[in-house]
Amino acid sequence: MKSILIIGMGRFGRHLCMNLSELGNEIMIVDAKEETLEELLPYVVSAKIGDCTNEAVLRSLGIANFDLIFVCIGTNFQSSLEITSLVKELGGRHVISKANRDIHAKFLLRNGADEVIYPDRDIAEKLAVRYSANHVFDYIELTDEFSIYEIPPLPEWVGKNLVEANIRHKYHISVLATKKEGKAKLMPPATYVIQEDEHLMVIGKKTDIDSILKKLP
């Protein structure tokens, strides 16, 4: 469980708040508009109305007490930049700021952000990969080189266990989980027999996984 402050309760901030709360974190939220806070009160330990470009408002929050601080200002880059800088100056341990463009990210990183997230861009990239390939059911980019894909098994793997299929050595990927009817089983043992009607969650280089996708019927 972590202590988390979220500044800016737009659409992204609201979803972030609810998901972090469901995972058992203690959350405080801040926004300039009271109506944006009301629906989130069941999910948080504290909510405050205030303009966080005002240093006095930020000081009153006890910035240094939070494990993570999210700056989720999406419509006003100037405000996002000011808040990010002030939060870091006031002792923010780990500041994560939302960006919409690469140039925004560069300025945010130079002015105190420890990390920058691009929710719109990341979702667009994920959807592009998923819907461009016939056999990709889910996709998570880890680095420019490595990703996790949810794919069906190759016909030659079906009925064999992971050792017999020789997936790691022949295709240079690792099976992280199997998924059937929406339920995932993590870290299957080497003796696990691959079934035709399931999906595999695999991790590897994009180039290696692309070569597997080309083999699928």
Clarify whether residues 13 and 106 are in a common domain.
yes
Q: Chain-centre distance of CA 107, in angstroms?
A: 21
**132 pLDDT more than 80:** no
Q: Which domain holds residue 30?
A: 3-118
Q: Is residue 168 part of a domain?
A: yes
DSSP secondary structure code for residue 67 in this structure: S
Within a domain: 153:
yes
Q: Residue 87 belongs to a domain with what CATH number?
A: 3.40.50.720
- Answer yes or no: is pLDDT of 133 > 80: no
| Residue 127 in domain | no
Do 26 and 88 belong to one domain? yes
pLDDT tens by residue, 169-190: 999 999 999 999 888 999 999 9
Task: Specify whether 9 is located in the same domain as 96.
Answer: yes
pTM of the model: 0.69
In a domain, 124, yes or no: no
Q: What is the band of 54 on the pLDDT scale with cuts at 50, 70, 90? A: very high
Domain identity same for 9 and 114: yes
153: CATH: 3.30.70.1450
106 and 155 share a domain? no
| The pLDDT value given to residue 129 | 76
Residue 144: its pLDDT value, please? 79
Q: How many domains does the chain have?
A: 2
Task: Give yes or no: residues 177 and 208 share one domain.
Answer: yes
**74 within some domain:** yes
- Do 100 and 150 lie in one domain? The reply is no
User: In this predicted model, what pLDDT tens digit does every residue of 148-173 receive, in sequence order?
Assistant: 999 999 999 999 999 999 999 999 99
Q: Report how far residue 67's alpha carbon sits from residue 69's, in angstroms, rounded to the nearest whole number.
A: 7
Domain membership of residue 40 (yes or no) is yes
Does 113 reside within a domain?
yes
Tell me, yes or no, whether 108 and 146 share the same domain.
no
Q: Is residue 208 part of a domain?
A: yes
Write the DSSP string, 83-140: HHHHHHHTT-SSEEEE-SSHHHHHHHHHTT-SEEE-HHHHHHHHHHHHHHSTT-SEEE
Contact between 172 and 180 (Cβ < 8 Å): no
Q: Is the pLDDT of residue 139 over 90?
A: no
Q: Which residue has the tokens 């390939």?
A: 133
53 and 155 belong to one structural domain: no
> Are residues 20 and 91 located together in one domain of the fold?
yes
pLDDT digits (tens, 9 = 90+) for 74-130: 778 999 999 999 999 999 999 999 998 888 889 999 999 999 998 887 787 777 777
What is the phi-psi region of residue 108: left when phi exceeds 0, alpha when psi lies from -120 to 50, beta otherwise?
alpha
The alpha-helical segments, DSSP class H, found in the chain are: 11-22, 35-38, 55-60, 77-89, 102-110, 119-132, 162-165, 167-171, 206-215
Percent of the chain with pLDDT over 90: 73
Is the same domain home to 7 and 93?
Answer: yes
